[in-house]
Amino acid sequence: MRVRNIEKEGHVRTPDYAKGKPGRIAEILGTFPNPESLAYGGDGLPEKSLYKVGFRQTDLWDSYGGSPEDILFIDIYEHWLEPREQSGEENQT
């Protein structure tokens, strides 16, 4: 999969540096109230699935100086993920 590369204002739990980056789902962590709703007094419903996504450090940073085996995990909610082949400008609706 890939992290959706979209701009969204406010209380968003997807770090900017991961946007548009390819990763692999390492684990399904469960469902949680949507923090983007909770933060503004919403009920957080429907709950969102949370995935532990692994990124190769060399995919995140062009100048990564460590081992190509190094990995970085981010917990990302389902609505921030898209299949890898669907990414690209033509699908950013």
Partner 1 sequence: MSNKGHDHPHEEPQHERSPWAARIRAIEELLVEEGVFTKEEVKAQVEYMESRTYENGARLVARAWVDPAFKKRLLSDTKAAAAELDIDATGPIEFVTVENTDEVHNVIVCTLCSCYPRAILGRPPDWYKSFAYRSRVVVEPREVLREFGLELPEDKRIAVHDSSADIRYLVLPQRPGGTEGMAEDELAALVTRDSLIGTDVARTEQEVGRV
Interacting residues with partner 1 (CB under 8 A): 13, 15, 17, 29-30, 32, 35, 50, 52, 57, 60-61, 64-67, 69-77
CB 46 to partner 1: min, Å: 15
Pick 70 or 86: Cβ nearer partner 1: 70
Residues 6+ apart with CB under 8 A from 66: 57
CB 64 to partner 1: min, Å: 8
Pick 5 or 38: Cβ nearer partner 1: 38
The label of the residue with tokens 């949507």 reads 34
CA quadruple 55, 19, 21, 70: dihedral positive or negative?
negative
